[in-house]
Amino acid sequence: MAKHKGRAWHVRLLAAALGVTAMAAGASVWTAQAGTASAGPRAGISSEAKPQERVSAVAVDIAHASDRGAKGVNITIDDGPDPNWTPQVLQLLKDSGVKATFCMVGTQAQAYPDLVKEVVADGHRLCNHTVSHDTAMDTKSEAYQSQQILDAERMITKASGGVRPQYYRAPGGAFTPYSRKLAASRGMRPLGWNVDTKDFERPGVDTMVATVKSEISNGPTVLFHDAGGDRSQTLAALRQVLPWLREQGYAFGFPVR
């Protein structure tokens, strides 16, 4: 999967994360022998970053399929929540009768918990998109990867009022065998995509719509964004894409777990 998205957005997220949570030196760690995530009494670890309740593990391979079968389609929305764009995306989805999967950045979820709760209340699903959206995290230590995943899980779950993310999407597709195993052990199915609209780059509405139409045969999971800048093109593209998909006989669902 191609790594993408604007450098300035990543810098802002990383800066926010540094002010909220300890980094790799004090990270949560994966205890392979026990098959559970643990955060020992090291300096810098938040007392809340201890996701030790029992959860059911899910498959470790990256999900692409839809729970609606061969004619299913999964709309996924990344990088929010955002106070300007997420409410507009939610309203559009509600008007269209479509449920989606929101891949949330931990610092954003922590900053806008009411929006996280609104996403859940509208029947959408949550996905862990790490604390700071570091697209190079596949080059970092396992301790760092653990911190990014487990702290984001905690942030999103707290912001939602107790609803845990059901998926894990690595920023820019920067999965590792370790991060997939850790996420799956926490009940978060690793989640990929089949159609990248490249809406983050604002290529134009017609280009984004054409991408979906030409690439949906590659698989059901479509990638959009509700944060990281002006998302007006995303909204305009969704207004065209959603009814077109329905006209083609597709049913909107969620990624398999």
- Summarize pLDDT for 185-222 with one digit per residue, the tens: 999 999 999 999 999 999 999 999 999 999 999 999 99
Predicted local distance difference test score (pLDDT) of residue 53 = 62
pLDDT digits (tens, 9 = 90+) for 164-190: 999 999 999 999 999 999 999 999 999
Predicted local distance difference test score (pLDDT) of residue 48 = 40
Higher-scoring residue by pLDDT: 79, 4? 79
99 pLDDT above the threshold of 60: yes
**Confidence label for 54 from pLDDT (cuts 50, 70 and 90):** confident
The winner for highest mean pLDDT among 17-21, 40-44, 48-52, 78-82 is 78-82
Share of the chain above pLDDT 70, in %: 79
205/213 Cα distance (integer angstroms): 12
From 242, 206, 228, select the one nearest 91 (Cα to Cα): 242
Q: Which of 17-31, 82-96, 198-212 has the lowest mean pLDDT?
A: 17-31
27/143 Cα distance (integer angstroms): 6
Predicted local distance difference test score (pLDDT) of residue 43 = 29
H runs (alpha helix) in 134-204: 142-160, 177-185
Predicted local distance difference test score (pLDDT) of residue 20 = 44
Domains of the chain: 10-17+56-252 (3.20.20.370)
pTM to 2 decimal places: 0.82
211/205 Cα distance (integer angstroms): 10
15 pLDDT above the threshold of 70: no
- Tell whether the torsion through CA atoms of 164, 192, 19 and 200 is positive or negative: negative
From 245, 208, 200, select the one nearest 66 (Cα to Cα): 245
6 pLDDT above the threshold of 90: no
36 pLDDT above the threshold of 80: no
**Confidence label for 13 from pLDDT (cuts 50, 70 and 90):** low
H or E stretch covering 225: strand 221-225
Q: Are 45 and 194 in contact (CB under 8 A)?
A: no
Residues identified as active-site = 78, 225
- The conformational region for residue 177 under phi > 0 = left, psi -120 to 50 = alpha, else beta, is alpha
